[in-house]
Amino acid sequence: MKNTFEDNHPLKLELYELIQKDLSYFEFIQSGSLDGMWYWDLEEPENIWMSPKFWEMFGYDPKEMKHLSSEWKDIIFADDLKIATENFHKHLKDSRNPYDQIVRYKHKNGSTVWVRCRGISIKDASGKAVRMLGAHNDLTAIITLQNEMSQRDEVRAFNEKLLKKEENELKVHDDVFYNKKSKTLRYHEHSISLTDQEISLFELFIHNKNHMLSINDIEYLLNPNKHLTSNALASSVSRLRKKLPMLNIKTIYGQGYIFIP
């Protein structure tokens, strides 16, 4: 069997002849695979033929629309018209630059229609581009689905982030949360800055809530290798109380401290 991709494949040539003899086959191709066609007179730029499906895609009755460039330019997004125009001139200058882009049109009902717009220039004997043949494909359903999936992924990622945050956070008191991983404290969404020693002291209290910690216990747990005086400990507790007045850290005189949530 011959290479089926040859340009002169007999079935391809037969199809071309069939289309030339009976335009209904051409109509089948363009209606079945395209969402609109247009044929543009570049010598008289306002003159353009647009297929019925071209307008139906945007919610308009083809019978009410004129075959004028100004008709479609009125409903395409301004930013996308600029891009399409730039690509159009690049394609006319060098046909190796494809006229192929995704643009947005305004539907009659106010919604946005996403369209892949492609075209090819047709030149005269002197090489001057005199016509432009174009095709539209409606991508609205695909892009809408992609956007929905992207939004779902963003929501999922956000929820996973919240879940991870909740797993690392410990509720210490009403609206007071301690992140065990980052060792940060927040109160009503405001961060509270603590020194390393204050954090160590704070962790002792929250992990031993409702349990009295003697001064000796605290001194050893905070700094097992060096002696921590009672006055230094009292100063640390005092600073912690000032920064966290909402926490109930009680002093049991002569014995130690206790955190009561």
- State the virtual CA torsion across 155, 157, 161, 167 in degrees, nearest 10: 100
Tokens of 121: 């220039």
Looking at CATH, the fold of the domain delimited by 166-259 is given as Arc Repressor Mutant, subunit A (1.10.10)
Instruction: Report the SS3 class of residue 46.
Output: coil
Q: What is the mean pLDDT of residues 222-247?
A: 77
pLDDT at residue 1, rounded to an integer: 46
User: 227 falls in which pLDDT band (50, 70, 90)?
Assistant: low
Mutual angle of helices 23-33 and 10-21, in 10-degree steps: 110
pLDDT at residue 146, rounded to an integer: 87
pTM over 0.95: no
**Which residues belong to CATH 3.30.450.20 in the chain?**
10-145
Q: List, for residues 132-172, the tens digit of each pLDDT value.
A: 999 999 999 999 988 888 888 887 777 666 555 556 677 77
Q: What is the mean pLDDT of residues 45-49?
A: 93
- Identity of the amino acid at 77: F
Share of the chain above pLDDT 90, in %: 39
- pLDDT score of 186 more than 70: yes
- Beta-carbon contacts of residue 239 (< 8 Å; ≥ 6 apart): 198
Residues 169 and 89: their CA atoms lie apart, in Å, by 58
Q: List, for residues 91-116, the tens digit of each pLDDT value.
A: 999 988 999 999 999 999 999 999 99
Burial bucket for residue 135 (CB in 10 Å: 0-12, 13-18, 19+): buried
Instruction: Give me the phi and psi of 11, to 5 degrees please.
Output: -70, -35
Q: Which CATH architecture has domain 10-145?
A: 2-Layer Sandwich (3.30)
Mean of per-residue pLDDT scores for the chain: 84
**Which residues belong to CATH 1.10.10.10 in the chain?**
166-259
Looking up tokens 């919610």, which residue turns up? 59
pLDDT at residue 3, rounded to an integer: 52
